[in-house]
Amino acid sequence: MKIKQILLAVLCSITILSSCKKDKTTEPPVNYTDEQLGVQADKVLHYSFNGTLDDESGNNLIATYPNNVTYTADRFGRPDHAIVFGGSSNMTTLATPSPKPFITGMPFSISIWFKATAVSTSQTLVKADGGEYNTYSGYWLQLGAVAPGTMSFSIGNNSANNSTARNTITTPAVFTAGNWYHVVVNVRGANNMDFYINGVKNTSCTYDGSATSMVFCSQQNQQLGVMGVFMGVGSIFEGVMDDYRIYKKALSQEEVSALYNFHPQQ
C-alpha cells in the first residue's frame, strides 16, 4: 500500500510539472497594447494602425478608407502594424473625422511616424479641415513642398489664397527616402511652432506667411481630416505611415522623447 502511494505521488508531480511547462509556452511573446504611452487626457486622436483604423484615443474618430486597406510591417518589423499609401497609379487616401470638436485653437500638437518612397516632390502626410475652395484653412503637413528633403507644417485662417492666409514652418532638407522618421509638431501660435525630428528639436526651421490664427474650413463637406493627399489628387504621399496622434496641448521634450523611444514590451 505504501509503494502505491509513493508511485501515485510521483505521477502527480510529473503531471503538474508538465502542465506548468505547457502554460508557459502559450504566453503571448509581445504586448501589442503598450503604445498607449504618454499623456492620455489631452489626446484627441490616435491611430496605431495595428491592423485596424480604430481611434485609440477614446473619442471614436474612426478613419475610413475608399479602397482596400494595405498594412505592412512597422519600424520594429511587426507585420500588419503600419499602413501603406500608394502613388498616382494606386492612390490611397485615408479620411479621418474632423478634430474640430476637440481642437478649438492653439496650442495643439501632432505626432507621426513615416517612411517615404521619395522625398523630391510635394507630398501631403496629414491635413485637417481645409485647403480646398481656393482658401487656406486648418492645418497640413507636407514633405518636399518647399525643397526636396524638407518638411513643412502650415496653418490657415480660411481667407484668400495668398501669403496672408497661412503661416508655414519648414525644416532644413534632412529627410531621405526609405528611412523611418518620427516627427512632432508643436503649435503654440502662428509664429511659435516647433519641429521635433527623431526626438530632437530642430532649431534651423524657417517661417513663411503672415497668418496669425488658425480657422477650420467653413465648407460643410470639408469638415474632415485626410491622410496621403492634399487637394483631390494633388500632393500624393507614397510610402508608409504609422502611429498618428493629435494632442490638444504642446508636448514637452520628455513626452516627445517617450513617443520616439517607445519599444514594444517583450
Structural domain boundaries of the chain? 40-260
pLDDT at 92 over 70: no
Q: Check residue 181 and report its DSSP letter.
A: E
Higher model confidence: residue 95 or residue 90?
95
Q: Give the global pTM.
A: 0.82
pLDDT, tens digit, for every residue of 25-36? 333 333 344 555
pLDDT given for residue 211 in this prediction? 86
As a whole number, the mean pLDDT across the chain is 79
pLDDT, tens digit, for every residue of 112-170? 999 999 998 889 898 887 655 556 788 889 999 899 999 999 988 888 767 788 889 99
Instruction: Name the phi and psi angles at 46, rounded to 5.
Output: -155, 110
pLDDT given for residue 101 in this prediction? 80
Class of the CATH-defined domain 40-260: mainly beta
Task: Check residue 25 and give left, alpha or beta (phi > 0: left; psi -120 to 50: alpha).
Answer: alpha
Residue keyed to cell 496622434: 245
Instruction: Name the phi and psi angles at 131, rounded to 5.
Output: 100, -30
Contact 266, 29 (CB under 8 A): yes
pLDDT at 13 over 50: no
Lowest mean pLDDT among 48-52, 61-65, 257-261: 61-65
H/E element holding 10? helix 2-25
Mean pLDDT, range 2-21, rounded to an integer: 43
